[in-house]
Structure 1
Amino acid sequence: MSVVAIGPYDFPMKDVRENFPAPLLFIAWDRHLMYPAPFCLPLPPDMPFGALSQAVLPGIYGEHPDFAKIDWSTVQWLKGNQPWSPDPTKSLADNGLRHKDAIRFRTPGLDGLAGSSS
C-alpha cells in the first residue's frame, strides 16, 4: 500500500516476510458473517494447497454449522478479487501465493447461518 505523508516517512517496514515464521496468508469465507474479517495465518510455502481444506480451514471455520456441508469440488476461489483456480496438488508457492496475499472462497448453496447472507 502506498503512503502519502506530509513529511519524511523513512523507517524499516515491520511486516516484511523475514519478520514472520512463514509467509502470511489472509483467508476469508465469503457470505459467512460469523467471521467478519479474514484470518491471517503464517503458512509454509511448500504446503500443498489441498491441505488448506483438510488441515487448516477446519481449525478456523469448523465451528460453523455450514462447514461440514461444504462440497469442496464446487468451491469457488478468488485471489484478491479475481476468480482463481488453484491446483490442490501444488504448493502454496507454486500456486502463486506470496507473503500477505489474500484469498477467499465461496461455497455455492451455503449462505451463512440460516441463509442470512442470501
Structure 2
Amino acid sequence: MAVAALTTYEFPAKDTADKFPAPLLYIGWEDHKMFCAPFCVPVPPDMKFGDMVSNMLPGMFSAHPDFARIDWATTEWFKSGQPWKPENDKSMADNGLGHKDVIRFRTPGLTGLGGSCF
C-alpha cells in the first residue's frame, strides 16, 4: 500500500552498511516452509561465495532433513527474484552482492518436508 505523506518525508536511513560488522545479506531456501522467511546475516564482502555456502548455510538450514541431500551442482540461485549464477571462487562483492541484497536458492527434487511444497 502506498503512503501519502502530508509533508516532506525525509530522514537518514538507520540501517546503512556502516552500522553493521559486515554488509547484511538475506538468504532464503525456496520450497522449504520450515524456514518462513530469509535469514538476514552479516557476510564479509571479501568472503568467497563457495565459503558462504559451505560454512554458513549449514548453520542456518541443516536442521531440515533435506539439507544433507542437496546437490549443489544443480541448485538454482536467484538474486532479487531473478535467476542468477554465482561464481563460487569469487568474493561476495565480485558476485555483485552488497548490503541488504536478497538471494534465494531452489533445490530441484527437494520440495519441503515429504514433498509438501510442489
Same fold (TM over 0.5): yes
Q: Distance in 1 between matches of 2:6 and 2:66?
A: 48
Correspondence list, 1:75-86, <5 A: 75-86=75-86
Deviations 1:53-92 (A, max 9, x none): 2100000001100000000000000001111001000000
How far did residue 48 of structure 1 move? 0.2
SS of 2:57's equivalent in the other structure is helix
Corresponding position: 1:8 with 2:8: yes
Q: Distance in 2 between matches of 1:94 and 1:4?
A: 38
SS of 2:78's equivalent in the other structure is strand
Correspondence list, 1:33-44, <5 A: 33-44=33-44
Aligned residues: 117
Q: Distance in 1 between matches of 2:4 and 2:93?
A: 31
Q: Distance in 2 between matches of 1:115 and 1:57?
A: 21
Q: TM-score, normalised by structure 1?
A: 0.94
SS of 1:40's equivalent in the other structure is strand
Unmatched segments (≥5 aa) in structure 1: none
Relative to structure 1, is the Cα distance of residues 20 and 3 closer, same or farther in structure 2, using a 3 angstrom cutoff?
Answer: farther
Corresponding position: 1:56 with 2:56: yes
Give the corresponding residue for 1:65: 65
Q: Distance in 2 between matches of 1:80 and 1:59?
A: 23
Relative to structure 1, is the Cα distance of residues 51 and 3 closer, same or farther in structure 2, using a 3 angstrom cutoff?
Answer: farther
Q: Distance in 2 between matches of 1:5 and 1:54?
A: 45
SS of 1:110's equivalent in the other structure is coil
AA in 2 matched with 1:49: F
Q: Distance in 2 between matches of 1:4 and 1:112?
A: 40
Unmatched segments (≥5 aa) in structure 2: none
Corresponding position: 1:104 with 2:111: no
Give the corresponding residue for 2:22: 22
Q: Distance in 1 between matches of 2:96 and 2:74?
A: 21
Q: Distance in 2 between matches of 1:78 and 1:11?
A: 31
% identical aligned pairs: 58
Give the corresponding residue for 2:91: 91
